Amino acid sequence: MLTNNESPGSRIVTAKGAMLVDSGKLGRPADADAETIFDPNYWQVRGEIARAARGRGATWFIASQRNEWALRHYRRGGLITPLLSADRYLWVGEPGVRSFAEWRLLAALRARGLPVPEPIAARYEREGPTYRCDLIMRRILGVEPLSVVLAARRLDVGEWRAIGTTIARFHAAGVDHADLNAHNILLGTGAISLVDFDRGRVRPGGSWRETNLRRLRRSLRKISAGLPPGHYSPSDWDALLAGYRHAPAL
């Protein structure tokens, strides 16, 4: 099973906080200082913002001559307390910084051959008892979220089984995805990846696996209301579970 402390990266102290980087893969433009790469306005001026992505946070796809990146600014979902803005978190120490935790988890998952985005850099900025944070990942090209694919066509049994098998690989490694849903499963030609590991963690086996699956099923039921007839049915979920339960990893 994985541990939460693999691949810590290189830590760089900044004026208001710190960065965590894979310096061998950062490859930032020559005219950008260390933190400029986290500023979407910098990329906008250069004409290298490809498009924004759906999600709880604010995510921009960056397409430059050197890099294909996804830049995410963390924002809290659900109820917002009146004492904090949507992109601020209470400071409880650097180990609790959400972008750092996700960076390290992604690095550990990739080291074990699991299909997740490659982490490039993370940072946080403190202000009093709160902080803001960001994460840059290498984009997975040629993929679409399961929710988008289902809007266009129906998946066959083999595809549903493959999704279940992929989820089982993560669960066998002890990976608890805190928000497994139809938007965070990416489908490509012969490849399936999982994204958005904010609040994800590695933990011993337990009921969290069933919780992950129930969350995904609720997500599929929710989006099915807006899908063309026949694009999702109970038999599709059965095929996913068959792939999950018969995965070699389990």
Query: Per-residue confidence of the chain (250 residues) as pLDDT tens digits?
Result: 444 444 457 899 999 999 999 877 776 554 556 789 999 999 999 999 877 765 555 899 999 877 899 999 999 865 555 556 889 999 999 999 999 999 999 999 999 999 999 999 999 999 999 999 999 999 999 999 999 999 999 999 999 999 999 999 999 999 999 999 999 999 998 899 999 999 999 999 889 999 999 999 999 999 999 999 999 999 999 999 999 999 986 5
Contact 21, 107 (CB under 8 A): no
Of 77, 107, 138, which one is at a domain's C-terminal end?
138
Q: Determine the structural domain holding residue 106 and report its residue range.
A: 10-138
pTM metric for this prediction: 0.90
Same domain membership, residue 37 and residue 61 = yes
Domain boundary among 92, 120, 138: 138
**Could you tell me if 133 and 163 lie in one domain?**
no
Indicate whether 166 belongs to any domain: yes
Active site residues: 179
**Encoded tokens for 69:** 């990146």
Of the residues 91, 108, 138, which one is the last residue of a structural domain?
138
CA gyration radius for the chain?
Answer: 19
3-state SS assignment for residue 231: coil
